[in-house]
Amino acid sequence: MATVSQSAPNITLKKRARLFFLIVPAIFLADYFTKHLVKRTMVPYEETISVIDGLVKLRFIYNEGIAFGINPVFISSWLLILISSSITIILIVYIFFSHYGDFIGLVALCLIAGGAIGNLSDRIVYGRVVDFIEIGIKDLTWPVFNVADISVTCGAILLVLCLFFQKPGAAGFESSETSGQSPPTKRS
């Protein structure tokens, strides 16, 4: 049975709140202002602006699907809002109240939350998400995305790396094998 490690970093609620309110609003505001700038200066689905010759372009589109152009027809806009809201709320509660004690992992979760809130706000206000960054070479391009998508993707990659390279007990939990305690015995 897992026990709370005595040697795990103590990330208090105050530190979690400070980390959350440093990262999440920064991601949300960066996402909001870049989308706002694109909506004010570009026409959707019409023009493309080359940023890095042939590699990075700005192309304003609306994404009514989940992510990276995935648009399952059986999922309505309101169902996407409900699912996104639920996942975001669970993530925020986890950030604040879990015993997860890995600082880099908490940063990753905050990046995911900031991006999720950015795209969720678009979905609530417009019923769709503003995407505008396109990368690729000639006709071989990645689906158009935005700052919130970058944040969620970077957070997810960082979280996977943290979990993959984590030492036993480093996240605030350790197994009975690493804690020196014998496993619990079954009582009759």
Strand 56-63 relative to strand 140-141: parallel, antiparallel, unpaired? unpaired
Which residue out of 31, 102, 122, 131 is catalytically annotated?
131
Active site residue 139: no
List the structure tokens of 140: 């071989």
**CA pair distance 3, 176, nearest whole angstrom:** 7
- At what angle are helices 147-165 and 13-41 packed, to 10 degrees? 150
Does the annotation count 149 as an active-site position?
yes
Query: Which pair of structure tokens corresponds to residue 71?
Result: 């648009």
> On the CB side of 57, how many CA atoms lie within 13 Å of its CA?
23
What is the C-alpha to C-alpha distance for residues 112 and 94, in angstroms, rounded to an integer?
12
Q: Which of 31, 102, 122, 149 is catalytic?
A: 149
Encoding tokens for residue 68?
Answer: 């990276």
Neighbours of 88 (CB within 10 A): 17
Give me the helices (H) in the chain, please: 13-41, 77-97, 103-126, 147-165, 176-179
Active site residues: 131, 149
